[in-house]
């Protein structure tokens, strides 16, 4: 049982869009914030297409798509999140920017509102230190694509209260997700393995060992992964991968976590992945994964 009724999502990018679907689909009123109206409009369109396709495929009952969309709303003003019981931050990996966002949210939200971060590499304790409410702050790292994956890595900061962690855990379960407790360490569980692994796949392309399609096929066929590493990177985006690498390498100094030069060249060429139509693979549309 959860006491959460209204959910805020800060950031209408790939992760924010997926998290908002999870919340709205589970019956929560969901308010998505982004300073750019065009980002909200794009995310709304992708969300509608994804939910309707889910209904057509029988993954949602008839009428569920319309019902979920009725619970979804967007806002370009942070004050639009003031009524939320929990706000999940899903912006890019930059500590200063996250501190600025949470500092502003702290001014417009009541003291009872829980703040959560979807960060995959930055310390929850460090982010919470700039939130104004470190006792009501928790890490909730959803897996990409959030609208399809069930796992949430739940990480308390040093000051996170037991009540806050229990409330966030119950909320994760109420959304139909599978929470797993982790310590506040770089990369938590998944990205501790995944960032170096994906970089290894990029370096195979750099070295001419195999083509991206061949690498993805080998991984999916031999290891049983539903998605190849380069397909996943196209979904993540090269710009995001660069930030993830810089954050992870800066914290751990693990050589395999360092950003491969090819990533920077692809960013310069605007080959960011699915969102630009070209990454390691070419895409004919920018629809949300699974739609």
Q: Which residues are catalytic?
A: 120, 141, 153, 191
Pairing of strands 114-117, 178-181: unpaired
């Amino acid at each position: 049982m959860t006491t959460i009724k209204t959910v805020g999502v800060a950031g209408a990018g790939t992760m924010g869009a997926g998290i908002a679907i999870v919340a709205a689909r589970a019956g929560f009123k969901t308010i998505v914030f982004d300073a750019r109206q065009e980002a909200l409009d794009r995310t709304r369109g992708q969300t509608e297409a994804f939910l309707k396709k889910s209904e057509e495929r029988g993954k949602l009952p008839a009428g569920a798509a319309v019902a979920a969309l009725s619970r979804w709303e967007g806002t370009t003003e942070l004050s639009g999140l003031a009524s939320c019981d929990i706000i999940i931050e899903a912006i890019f990996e930059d500590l200063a920017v996250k501190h600025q966002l949470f500092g502003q949210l702290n001014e417009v939200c009541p003291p009872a509102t829980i703040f959560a971060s979807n960060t995959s590499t930055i310390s929850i304790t460090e982010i919470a230190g700039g939130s104004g409410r470190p006792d009501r702050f928790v890490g909730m790292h959803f897996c990409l694509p959030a609208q399809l994956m069930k796992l949430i890595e739940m990480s308390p900061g040093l000051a996170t209260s037991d009540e806050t962690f229990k409330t966030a855990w119950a909320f994760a379960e109420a959304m139909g997700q599978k929470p797993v407790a982790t310590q506040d360490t770089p990369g938590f569980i998944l990205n501790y393995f995944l960032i170096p692994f994906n970089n290894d796949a990029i370096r195979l392309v750099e070295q001419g060992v195999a083509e991206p399609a061949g690498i993805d096929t080998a991984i999916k066929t031999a290891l049983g992964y539903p998605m190849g590493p380069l397909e996943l990177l196209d979904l993540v985006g090269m710009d995001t991968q660069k930030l993830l690498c810089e954050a992870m390498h800066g914290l751990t100094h693990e050589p395999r976590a360092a950003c491969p030069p090819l990533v920077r060249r692809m960013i310069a060429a605007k080959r960011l992945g699915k969102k630009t139509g070209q990454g390691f693979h070419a895409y004919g549309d920018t629809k949300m994964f699974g739609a």
